[in-house]
Amino acid sequence: MPSFNRSRFILARWTIYSILVVTYMLVFFHRMAPAVISADLMAAFKTSGAALGSLAAMYFYIYTAMQIPAGVLADTLGARATVTAGSLVAGIGSLTFGMAGSFATASLGRALVGLGVSVVFVGLFKSNSVWFSDRNFGMISGLTLLLGNIGAISSAGPLAALLRSYSWRTVFVALGALTLALALLTALLVRNCPEDMGLPSLREMEGKASHSPRKLHWWGDLKSVLGTWDAWPGLWVGMGMVGGMLAFIGLWAIPFLRDIHGLSRSAGAGYTTTALAGFAVGSMLAGWLSDRMGRRKPVILSGTLLYALACLGLAFLPWRPGPVGLSLFALIGFSSGGFVVIFANAKEVVAPALAGMAVGLVNTGIFFGAAVMQPLFGWAMDLAWDGRMTNGVRVYAATDYHFGFLLMLCFAALGVGGALKIRETRCRNVTIGD
- DSSP class per residue in 266-316: HHHHHHHHHHHHHHHHHHHHHHHHHHHHT-SHHHHHHHHHHHHHHHHHHHH
Task: Give the whole-angstrom CA distance, residue 140 versus residue 125.
Answer: 9
**What is the value of pTM for the model shown?**
0.76
Average pLDDT, the chain: 86
Question: What tens digit of pLDDT does each residue of 180-194 get?
Answer: 999 999 999 999 988
The reported pLDDT for the residue numbered 135 is: 76
Q: Give 254-263's long-range contacts (Cβ < 8 A, gap of 24+).
A: 254/35, 254/36, 254/38, 255/35, 255/38, 255/39, 255/396, 256/396, 256/401, 257/321, 258/39, 259/395, 259/396, 259/397, 259/401, 260/397, 260/398, 260/401, 261/320, 261/321, 261/325, 263/321
Give me the residues of the chain with pLDDT under 50, please: none
Task: Give the whole-angstrom CA distance, residue 347 versus residue 130.
Answer: 12
The reported pLDDT for the residue numbered 357 is: 87
In the CATH hierarchy, which fold is given to the domain comprising 6-193+217-420? Answer: Growth Hormone; Chain: A; (1.20.1250)
Contact assessment for residue 175 and residue 158, using Cβ atoms and an 8 Å cutoff? no
Q: Which helix (H) or strand (E) holds 139?
A: helix 137-154
**Residue 305: alpha-carbon gap to chain centroid:** 20
Contact assessment for residue 409 and residue 375, using Cβ atoms and an 8 Å cutoff? no
Question: What tens digit of pLDDT does each residue of 395-430 get?
Answer: 788 888 888 888 899 999 999 999 999 999 888 888
Q: Residue-wise over 129-162: b if at least 16 C-beta within 10 A, else e? A: bbbbebebbbbbbbbbbbbbbbbbbbbbbebbeb
The reported pLDDT for the residue numbered 265 is: 76
Question: Domain coordinates of the chain in residue numbers?
Answer: 6-193+217-420
